[in-house]
Each structure stands twice: as C-alpha cells, then as structure tokens.
Chains A and B, each alone.
Chain A
Amino acid sequence: MIPVFIGATLLIYAMVFLIPGDPIQALAGDKPLSPAVADQLRERYHLDRPFIVQYLLYLKGIFTLDFGTSFSGQPVRDVLARAFPVTIRLAFMAIVIEAAFGIFFGVIAGLRKGKAFDATLLVLSLFIIAVPVFVIGFLAQFFLGVRWGIAPVTVGADASFSRLLVPAIVLGLVSFAYVLRLTRTSVAENKDADHVRTATAKGLSRRRVVVVHILRNSLIPVVTFLGADLGALMAGAIVTEGIFNINGVGGTIYQAVIRGEAPTVVSFVTVLVVVFLVANLLVDLLYAALDPRIRYA
C-alpha cells in the first residue's frame, strides 16, 4: 500500500514536472507569464533543486496538508475545506444509491439467471454503461430540470441532500450498472454452492439463505468494486459537478480545466488520487470482515 502510494504520487509529480519543455510555461498554458510570477512558481515548486528533493518536498506538502495555492492565489487547503464536504456528500449519496439498487437488482437477476427479467436488466445495464456520464447529465438536467421542472436545474451554493439527489443519481448510474452485473454473476455462481444447499436443507427460510449465505459470499467482488469506484466517482464528479454547477472538488477542477488553470487542476487531482488510495486501503481492511479466510496479521 505504501509503495503504491509513493509510486502513484511520484508518477503524478514526474508527469507534471519531467515532461519535455519548461513545466512552468506548460502550467501557465496559453496565458502569457510575467517573469515575476514564473520565478514565484519556480520557487513554489522548488524547481531549482534536484528532482528527488523536489518530490520529497512535495510529499511533505501532502502530509502536512499543504497542497499549494490555486491560480487565483487562494491556498488549495482553504478551497478544499469548503469544497470537499460537498463532494463527499455527493459521492456518498451516489455510492449508497448504486450499492442499494445495484445489489438489490443484482441479487434478483442472479437468482433468476437466464430468465427474461435477468436478460432485460443485462441489456439495460449495457445501455447505461455505453452512454457517457455527461450525456446522461444533460438529459437529466434538460428533462427533469428545464422541461418538467421537478428538480433544480443547477445546485449552486445550497448543496442540500434534496438538491443533490438528481446529480447523485446521474453520478452513480454507470456504477450502478457495474454493481448490478457483478452481483448478478457472483450470486449466480454462489447460489448452487454446497453450503447454500445445506442451509436450505437445514430448513432456513429463503430470506435467510439469500441474505446470509448467498449474499455475504457474493459481496466480496462488489466491495472491491465499490472501493475502486470511489476513484471513478471522483473523476465522474468533475463532469457531474460541472454540469449541475456544484461547488465541490469536481466542480472546482471542472472550472479550472475550462479556464486552463493547470496548477489548480494538478493540486486538486493529487488530492483526489490520495483519497482514492486511502479508500482502496479501507476496502482491503473490509475484506477481512466479509471473508474470514482473509486475515491481516
């Protein structure tokens, strides 16, 4: 885990600062850069030091929660403090929605593998996967918000649960399809296992057999996916928050990308990658709870 963390941060750092050409100029994009600002940036990123020292200083910045300043001069930490709760709320809602519906329908489809209901869900899930998030977002915004007026068109400053509902559904929709397919395959594999037959033979109720004996065993790949999916949700949040004008981390990155403010993009994306890595670590620990065969000494 720690090697992966070091490797991933090193990779991001290297890809920003080791690409050919002047990284400072690349960060500025098309904008003209005054020598004073260039010097300031050069000092800020310690470009006058050897590469490995630069990287270590950058790592130190991550651990001390000092992520640098955004293009407008605000400390990234302050922007994060405001934006992160919103994104966490949105991602949390999306994960709950996709997990609840995905597992529910996945179990039904898995238990009825090969039947019409299962086939319909499978084709539907492929459709959901194939349509890009930004298209789903536009459609939801256009029909629910503009045409029928049953949901707010944009979220804006007031990011309450009810206003975030539609963006959270949009964000979780693609992953919902994956959760459904994973649960279905897993349940279909487990439902004929010997221990399930034993449980049925013991006279346990159907509900108990499904929930305790089939589902718990089927959830391991799903939990893996949900952990990895946090990264996809963070990435999806860039587009979703952009479309619905949510002032979260994703929305901030979206605005920065549109305006071509590379330093802001780099700082915030780094934070997202760190979140993603931590989430994966938590998932590894969660395994042990689900699968007694896995134990971490």
Chain B
Amino acid sequence: MPDPDLPGTPDRASPQARAGQNYFVAGPDEVEALGVDRLDEASPPTSMWRDAWRGLRRNPMFLVSALLILFVLVVVAVPGLFTGQDPRMCLGQNSMRGPGAGHPFGFDLQGCDIFARTVYGARASVLTGVGATAIFLLIGGTVGALAGFYGGRLDAVVSRITDVFFGIPLILAAIVMMQLFRNRSIWTVMLILALFAWPHVARIARGSVISVRGNDFVLAATALGVSRFRILLRHVLPNAVGPVIVVTTIWLGVFIVTEATLSYLGIGLPPSVVSWGGDISTGQSRLRSGSGIIFYPAAALAVTVLGFIMLGDALRDALDPKARKR
C-alpha cells in the first residue's frame, strides 16, 4: 500500500480515496509503468540528519537537555552576567555567614561567596569536559575509523590495544596517573582522561565504519575511481558519524563527573582553579554545619551532567534506526 506521506508516490497526484470511504482501496492502475522510479522533484530531499531532526524536535527530553546545555554554556561564557561577586574574593569575617543581599547562597568556610563560586565553577568543569572530549574524539575517532575502513593488520593491532585499555577502569587509571603529577593543571586532567578513554569511541567508530563500508554507494564510488581516502572522508564518514556523536555526548558527561571525582579526591584540578569538585571536597568537612556549601556545587554539577547524558540519550533515539521504529 502506498504511503500517502511518502514523496513521489503517484497517488498524490491522483487521489483515489473518495469521501465517506473508510479504507484506502488501490485502483488497478495505481502505479503506472516506471512510476516507482519517478521522483517528485518538488518533494524535499531527506537525509539521516533531516530524519533525526524531525524526531528530535518532538522529543521533550531533547528540548529540555538542549536548553540546559545552552544555559550552562552561557554561564561558562559570561559568568559576570549572573553574579557581580568575585569567586576569589574571600574574607575571613564572612566565614560561614548565611545568605544575604547579593549573596543568595551565603558564604563558605573561607568566606567566599558560594553563589559566585558555583557560577564560576562551571567554567573549569565544562572546559575540562569539552577539552577531554575533543582529544578523545580526535584520537579515538581517527584510530577507530582507519582501523574499521582499512581492516587487516591495522585493525587487528588496534583491536588488541583497545582490549587492553578496556581492562583498566578509567577512574583507576586516572587515580594512578594523577597521583604521579605534582604540577597538575586543567591540561593534565584533560589529557589523562582522554588518554585512557579513547578506546571507547574507537570501538564505536570502528563498528560504525565497518557497517557503512559494505554499502553499495561505497562500491559505486570505488567503481568511479574515487581514491580510498576520499571514499572514507566523503562517503563513509558522514554516514558513520551518528553513533560516534552519541557516545561522544555521553562521554562528555562522564568526563565532567570523573574530573569532579578526581578533584574531590584532591588529585584533579589544582586548588587555585575554582571548580565544583574542589568546592565539594573542601565543603565536606563542614557538612553538618552548612550543607549549602556542598549542596549548590553538587546540584550544578548534577544538572550539567544530566544535560549532556539526556542529550546523548535523545540523540541515540533519533540516530539509531533500530530504536526509532519501536
């Protein structure tokens, strides 16, 4: 039965359904000769991305997560918009003072404005997350795509290496490594996180490229004499990038959580950097007298991570054809 929503089906030009008729009954000459091969030029072109966007637009989870992330990004870009206070302006006389005018969350033990620290802390967390994700994607995506596309010995070697990295949980590797660096910076954290997590994206990219590699359009491009590398770049990658985007989004959230955990243990970002993990770590000793000290940075951390994980989830629903129809 022709789908009336599908562009290019002939029944659009000659509607057969009559008024009062409950079911569509196809006429004997519904599709004329060669009609199935004809394309309605006026119909909008469709692609994986257009389909995904159509699904995403209606997904409340996508809208909520997109708004959340947008908000966090604004906070990261212009924290001055939200607070006039300096997060490093800490006066002993303000120690543990409750909320007051201009200081909605009050002060921590050192007399720093908790609201300002929560706002400015977004920068360290998000920058570490985004930086680590960029390196992670660069190494893992490249290695995985090349291994999947060229196969053979390269693939065998890459697969063994990823197996080895999978044998070591990220947080354990990060704890050992961070322990050994005395001059830690935001860069050290980013590099270490990316260095021990890239096999996760490499494995996904490899699988995705392998599943696209066997398609007829790749064969067609090969027959036309397009070079191997160009085929990978122009024909395979654009079609294989969906699952990679999904894991990347989720890992962005994971990196932020891991950075906070490391900072909480005191081996993540240096204390000079205003960060949520660090603030939670210093606030824990005062848990009984002022739970706000850890509550606000913890809530900000949770909301940010929630945004990225929800986005990844929504993207998975939109980009994974297996999940879509169910």
Contacts and interface: CB of A to CB of B under 8 A. Distances in A.
Interface of A: 3-5, 7-8, 11-12, 15-16, 19, 23, 26-27, 29-30, 113, 123, 126-127, 129-135, 138, 141-142, 146, 185, 188-189, 231-232, 234-236, 238-239, 242, 253-254, 257-258, 260, 262, 265-266, 269, 272-273, 276-277, 280
Contacts of A280: 167
Q: Which secondary structure dominates chain B's binding surface?
A: helix
Contacts of B221: none
B165 interface: yes
Nearest to A10: B164
B264 A239 contact: yes
A19 B260 contact: no
B11 interface: no
Q: Which of B160, B164, B266 has the most CB of A within 10 A?
A: B164
A138 B169 contact: no
A283 B266 CA distance: 34
Given A11-B165, A257-B265, 11 more contacts: A4-B166, A7-B161, A12-B168, A126-B309, A132-B264, A135-B294, A142-B287, A146-B287, A235-B175, A257-B175, A272-B172
Q: Which secondary structure dominates chain A's binding surface?
A: helix
Given A138-B284, A138-B294, A258-B265, A235 B171 contact: yes
Contacts of A30: 182
Contacts of A269: 172, 175-176
A132 B180 contact: no
- 5 tightest A-B contacts by CB? A7-B164, A8-B167, A130-B306, A235-B171, A231-B169
B323 to A, nearest CB: 8
Contacts of A273: 167-169, 172
Interface stretch (B145-153, B226-234, B297-305): B297-305
B257 A132 contact: yes
A185 to B, nearest CB: 8
A143 B169 CA distance: 31
Given A130-B253, A257-B179, A239 B302 contact: no
B313 interface: yes
Contacts of B179: 29, 257, 260, 262, 265-266
B265 A133 contact: no
